[in-house]
């Protein structure tokens, strides 16, 4: 990959945007794109770089769009010979294999509530190079001493959060608050303005009370289905540190989906922030 593509890959990663990198990994005979030729296809269909142009490149761009939709890449063989069955409309005569690599958006988490679970998450996220910001209406809970690696530490009222930040800049929102009504304020705005993953840490009782209130306000069941609650993989997590591990594990599993799992992972830990606080030493 040349410097232009490297810079673009880094730029998209810093912007937390997914993309596809397509690379010629094998060639036979006469082909326009030599071994190692690469291109990056962005989520909006624009691209930079080339693997040889013409019909090959157009076909690979279509494969890239599929990879972005499926969140998974693949290896493809192309015959650049119009006279062959299934060959591209080309007279080069050779063949290529192109690796289409899906690169997921690098996670950028917004944590509402600077309590114990948020603090435990803040210890893990930097080791994975995941960005995060933390917001709370209690300044003493989100100081630099508690969250030295946070991109932003926002002291803001829950009903003003979405006027303070750009929601689409974040890939995940986790409501880890200490007050159910304040969580409700944040969640109410998130359903209207936050486009990506929404996770709510809550006991079954708290979740049902919040959802019932939102349904009374006219929110549809489809809208509420966007909210993941409980959060994290079901690993029997109890302490804040264990819950943080389960949450991060869930993010990793969704970033790197595998066709086969050795263990089922359908259910997530249902431990509220209050429960975690009471159980932690």
Query: Are residues 8 and 96 both part of a single domain?
Result: yes
Query: Are residues 130 and 72 both part of a single domain?
Result: no
Query: Are residues 145 and 262 both part of a single domain?
Result: yes
What's the pLDDT score for residue 173? 97
* pLDDT tens, residue order, the chain (281 aa): 689 999 999 999 999 999 999 999 999 888 887 889 999 999 999 999 998 877 888 999 999 999 999 989 999 998 877 778 876 777 777 888 999 999 999 999 999 999 999 999 999 999 999 999 999 999 999 999 999 999 999 999 999 999 999 999 999 999 998 899 999 999 999 999 999 999 999 989 999 999 999 999 999 999 999 999 999 999 999 999 999 999 999 999 988 766 544 444 444 444 444 444 433 33
Query: Are residues 223 and 117 both part of a single domain?
Result: yes
Cβ atoms within 10 Å, residue 83 = 8
Query: Are residues 99 and 197 both part of a single domain?
Result: no
Length of the chain as a residue count: 281
Q: 76 forms bridges with which residues in the sheet? A: 98
Q: Count structural domains, the chain.
A: 2
Query: Are residues 178 and 269 both part of a single domain?
Result: yes
Query: Are residues 177 and 268 both part of a single domain?
Result: yes
d(CA 122, CA 126): 7
pLDDT, tens digit, 9 for 90 and up, residues 74-98: 999 988 777 788 767 777 778 889 9
d(CA 269, CA 202): 10
Query: Are residues 116 and 136 both part of a single domain?
Result: yes
Nearest CA among 106, 144, 157, 100 for reference residue 128: 106
CATH code, domain carrying 137: 3.40.50.720
Domain around 60: 3-103
Nearest CA among 89, 92, 100 for reference residue 27: 92
**DSSP string over the chain:** --HHHHHHHHHHHHTT--EEEEEEEEEESS-SSPTT-EEEEETTS-EEE-SS-HHHHHHHHHHHHHHHHHT--EEEEEE--TTSTT--S--S--EEEEEEEEEPPPPEEEEE--SHHHHHHHHHGGGGT-EEEEEES-GGGS-TTT-TT-S-EEE--GGGHHHHS-GGG-SEEEE--S-HHHHHHHHHHHHHH--SEEEE---HHHHHHHHHHHHHTT--HHHHTTEE-S-S--S---SHHHHHHHHHHHHHHHHS--S--SS---------HHHHHHH--
**Domain final position from 103, 134, 163:** 103
**Domain final position from 103, 121, 154:** 103
**Domain final position from 103, 129, 161:** 103
Query: Are residues 132 and 72 both part of a single domain?
Result: no
Query: Are residues 218 and 96 both part of a single domain?
Result: no
56: which 2 tokens? 């090959």
Query: Are residues 70 and 135 both part of a single domain?
Result: no
Query: Are residues 61 and 144 both part of a single domain?
Result: no
């Amino acid at each position: 990959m040349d410097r232009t593509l490297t810079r673009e890959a880094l730029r998209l990663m810093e912007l937390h945007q997914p993309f596809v990198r397509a690379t010629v990994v094998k060639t036979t005979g006469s082909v326009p794109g030599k071994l190692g030729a690469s291109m990056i296809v962005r989520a909006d269909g624009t691209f930079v770089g080339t693997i040889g142009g013409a019909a090959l490149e157009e076909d690979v761009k279509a494969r890239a769009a599929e990879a972005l939709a499926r969140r998974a890449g693949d290896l493809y063989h192309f015959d650049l010979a119009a006279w062959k069955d299934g060959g591209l409309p080309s007279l080069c005569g050779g063949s290529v294999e192109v690796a289409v690599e899906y690169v997921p958006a690098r996670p950028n988490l917004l944590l509402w509530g600077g309590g114990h679970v948020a603090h435990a998450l803040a210890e893990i996220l930097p080791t994975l190079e995941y960005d995060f910001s933390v917001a709370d209406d209690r300044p003493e809970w989100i100081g630099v001493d508690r969250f030295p690696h946070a991109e932003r530490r926002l002291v803001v009222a829950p009903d003003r959060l979405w006027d303070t930040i750009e929601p689409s800049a974040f890939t995940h929102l986790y409501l880890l608050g200490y007050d159910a009504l304040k969580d409700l304020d944040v969640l109410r705005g998130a359903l209207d303005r936050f486009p990506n993953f929404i996770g709510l840490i809550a006991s079954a009782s708290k979740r049902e009370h919040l959802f019932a209130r939102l349904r009374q306000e006219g929110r549809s069941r489809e809208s509420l289905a966007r909210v993941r609650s409980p959060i994290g993989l079901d690993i029997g997590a109890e302490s804040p540190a264990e819950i943080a591990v389960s949450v991060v594990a869930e993010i990793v599993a969704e970033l790197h989906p595998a066709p086969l799992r050795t263990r089922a992972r359908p259910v997530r830990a249902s431990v509220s922030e209050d429960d975690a606080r009471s159980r932690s030493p």
